[in-house]
Structure 1
Amino acid sequence: MSKKLTALFALIIILAFIGYIIYDASTGSGKSDDLGIIPDTIYDESWSVDRTYHVSEGELSSVAVSPDGIIYLGGDSFVKAVNNDLNDIWKLETDQKITSLSVSGDTIYASTTETVVLISTSGKFITEWGPYESNSIITSVSSNKQFMVFADAGNKSVYILKKNGELHSMLGQAEEKFVIPSPYFDVALSDDLLLIANTGNRRMETWTADGKKLSQFGEPGTAPGAFCGCCNPAHFAVIPQGFVTAEKGINRIKILDRNGGFIEFVSSNNKFIPSIPLDVASADGETIYAANSVDSTIYIFKRKLLPPTP
C-alpha cells in the first residue's frame, strides 16, 4: 500500500510541475525582463562602430570626454588620456581601481569605491577626497563649475559637494529613497540640476541640488523606450538630444529625449555580453564612446554615412 501511495504522490507532483510549465509558457511569466530575453526583433540602427581602441594597462571600467575631444579612460589602477587620433597623451597609476570619471575645466574627477581622486588634465595628481561612509560603493561622479556630485550604490545616496570638497547636501536620506539592487547607480549634472538613474525603479529622475525632486520618466519593459531587467539604465550620459543610455540584461545603447521619448538605437544588434553594460560618454551627441570592461576596449560610434542620392 505504501508503494502505491508513494507512486501516486510522485505522479501528482509530476503532473503539477507539467501544469506549471504549460501555464508559465502561456502567460509569459518567465520573467523575461530579468533574464534579458526578448523576441527575435532586429531594429534599424543609424549608428555603427567607427573605430576601436584597446587598453593594455588593465581592465577598463570608465570613460569621459572633454569638450575639446580628449578621451579619459579609467580602470584597474590607472587613469589615462588619449587624443582624438587615439594616441596616448599620458597615464597615471592609482592605488585603487577607478569606477567612474568626469572632467570639468582643468580637473578630472576619478572615483574609487570609497574616494574621489582629483587629477589635472595634464595628468598630475592633485588630491583625494574621502572616504565618506562605511560600505560605500561609489559608482558615478559628475562635475560642473559649481558642484561635484557622486552616487554611492552601497549607501543608496547621492552626495553634492562644493568645488572645495565641502558637503553641500545629500539625496536619498529622506522619504524619497533610491532603489539600487546592484552596483549600477549613475548621476550627471546638467545646468545645475542632477539627473539620476533610479535603477531599481527603471527610471530617470531630475533633482535640484537642494534635494527637491522635479520630474521622472521611465518604465520597465523590453520596448525600445523602456528599461529592461532589474536595474536600468546602468549607465547614461547627457547629450544635446537628451540622453544616451546603456542597459544590462539586454545590452543595448539608445538615445532618449529629455522627456524620455525614444529617438533611436545606437547599438542593439551586437555581441556584447548581456549582463555587462558599457559605460558611455559623449561631448556633442555626434560621437559616442562606450567602454567595454570585458575586452578593455573603447567602441567609438558614429552615424552611418548615407548613400549618395541618385
Structure 2
Amino acid sequence: MTSRNDPTTRPPRAIPTVAGLLALAVAAVLLGAYLIVRLAAMVGGQGNGPAGTLNSDLEELRQTDPKLIKYREVGRINTGFQQARGIAVDAEGRLYVAGDQAVAVFGADGVQQSAIPLTTPPRCLAVGADGTLYAGMADHVETFDRGGAPRAVWSSPGPKARFTAVAVGENDVWVGDAGDRVVLRYDFSGNVVGRIGRKDAARHVPGLIIPSLHLDVALAPDDLLRVSNPGRHRIEAYTPGGDLKFSWGREGSDIDRFCGCCNPTDFALFPDGRFVTSEKGLPRVKIYSARGTFEGVVAGPETFGQKAVGLDVAVDPQERVLVLDPVARAVRVFVHQ
C-alpha cells in the first residue's frame, strides 16, 4: 500500500504563467480601486451607505431636546486671550482666566480688574479661601498673593508631569497630573505628601485611564475628593488618604451618559454637591446630582462649534454656570431658567 505522503503519488504542481500572474495583479488593482471609491463615498456621506447613516446619527446627537435644557445664556466675557485654557472663581465672585502667558482677573460684572503676567503658559488654576492664587503650569505650580504678587514656585514632580487641574482645601492643595495619571497631594509649602488614583488592587482602586490631557479634581462638601476618570467615563470619590469610596457615570451617547473615548473632560461643583460637567467630541455641558443622577442640560452641542475642546467650567457664588469656550475666546455665562 502506497503512503498518502508518497511524493510519487502527488499530482504535478501547477506552475503559474506570466499571463496568469498579470491577470491576478490586474484583478487586485481593480479591487483596490473599487474599495477606495466605496470608502471615499462612505466617508463623504454620499448615498445611503453606512457613513451617510453615521453622519445622520451624529447630526441627530448634536441636537438637544429643548425640554432637557434647564439653563439659558445671559452673557459673555471676552478673555482677551488667543488661547484661553482654564477658569476659576473665588469666594467673592471674581473670575480668573488662565491663557497665553497670564492670568486675567474679572469682577462679577465681567469687567477686567487686573492681569498677572507669567513666564510660561498657565494650564489650570484655583483660588484659596485667603485669596492665594495657585496657577498650574505644564509641570509645576506657582503661587501669587491676593494682589497678584509672586509668592513661590513649587518644584516639578517629574519629567512626565502634565498638570491639568488644581483644587485647594483647608489643609492641602490637589493637582491633577494627566501625564503621570495621578492626583498629587501637596502641603501649602509645595511638598508632595501623597498620590491618589494609581491602580491598587489591595485598595480596590482600578486606576485612572487618561487617554488625553484631561484630568479634573475638586473637593466636595462631604470632604471627599472628586476625580474625573475619563477613560472609564466616570467621576470617582476618594478620601484624602486615597481610598475609593464610590463612583458614578456610564459610557454612551445618550444625554445622561458620557460619550467618546474619554469624558467628562471637566467638572465643577455647586455648594450642595451637584455637578456641572463638560464633554469633548460632542460638546455638552450637563447637570448631575451629588450621586450622579442626570438632571438636565446647560448647553448642548448646537451651542458650541464642532471644534470646541477644553470647555472648562465653574460655578460662581450666584450659582451661575460659567463655561470657557476656547473657540469663542470667551467665558459664557448661564443661569437657571
TM-score normalised by structure 2 residue count: 0.80
Higher relative helix content: 2
Higher relative strand content: 1
Letter in 2 for 1:42: T
The partner residue of 1:292 within 325, 329, 334 is 325
- Specify every segment of 5 or more residues in structure 1 that has no aligned partner in the other structure, as ranges: 305-310
Report the Cα distance in structure 1 between the residues aligned to 2:177 and 2:188, rounded to whole angstroms.
Answer: 18
* Alpha-carbon shift at residue 243 of structure 1 (Å): 0.6
What is aligned with 2:24? 5
What is aligned with 1:183? 213
Percent sequence identity over aligned pairs: 26
Q: Work out whether 1:233 is the aligned partner of 2:254.
A: no
Report the Cα distance in structure 2 between the residues aligned to 1:98 and 1:31, rounded to whole angstroms.
Answer: 37
**Count of residue pairs the alignment pairs up:** 300
Tell me the SS of whatever aligns to 1:5. helix
The partner residue of 2:232 within 194, 201, 219 is 201
Q: Provide, for residues 247-283 of structure 1, a one-character-per-residue CA deviation record: whole Å limited to 9, x for no partner.
A: 0000110101122111010000313334513110003
Kindly tell me: are residues 38 and 120 of structure 1, through their superposed partners in 2, closer, same or farther at Cα, counting changes over 3 Å? farther
Q: Work out whether 1:256 is the aligned partner of 2:275.
A: no
Q: Provide, for residues 112-170 of structure 1, a one-character-per-residue CA deviation record: whole Å limited to 9, x for no partner.
A: 01111111222222112121111211000000111100011111111011223232210
Report the Cα distance in structure 1 between the residues aligned to 2:147 and 2:254, rounded to whole angstroms.
Answer: 43
TM-score normalised by structure 1 residue count: 0.87
Kindly tell me: are residues 151 and 10 of structure 1, through their superposed partners in 2, closer, same or farther at Cα, counting changes over 3 Å? same
What is aligned with 1:93? 117
The partner residue of 1:42 within 41, 60, 64 is 64
Letter in 1 for 2:304: K
- Specify every segment of 5 or more residues in structure 2 that has no aligned partner in the other structure, as ranges: 1-18, 201-205
Contact 1:37 1:250 in 2 (8 A): no
Contact 1:241 1:285 in 2 (8 A): no
Tell me the SS of whatever aligns to 2:259. coil
Report the Cα distance in structure 1 between the residues aligned to 2:126 and 2:180, rounded to whole angstroms.
Answer: 21
Tell me the SS of whatever aligns to 2:231. helix
Kindly tell me: are residues 260 and 4 of structure 1, through their superposed partners in 2, closer, same or farther at Cα, counting changes over 3 Å? same
Report the Cα distance in structure 1 between the residues aligned to 2:133 and 2:23, rounded to whole angstroms.
Answer: 74
What is aligned with 1:212? 243
* Alpha-carbon shift at residue 4 of structure 1 (Å): 3.5
What is aligned with 1:55? 79
Tell me the SS of whatever aligns to 1:200. helix
Contact 2:307 2:327 in 1 (8 A): no
Larger radius of gyration: 2
Tell me the SS of whatever aligns to 1:56. coil
Kindly tell me: are residues 222 and 174 of structure 1, through their superposed partners in 2, closer, same or farther at Cα, counting changes over 3 Å? closer
Q: CA RMSD in A?
A: 2.8
* Alpha-carbon shift at residue 10 of structure 1 (Å): 4.9
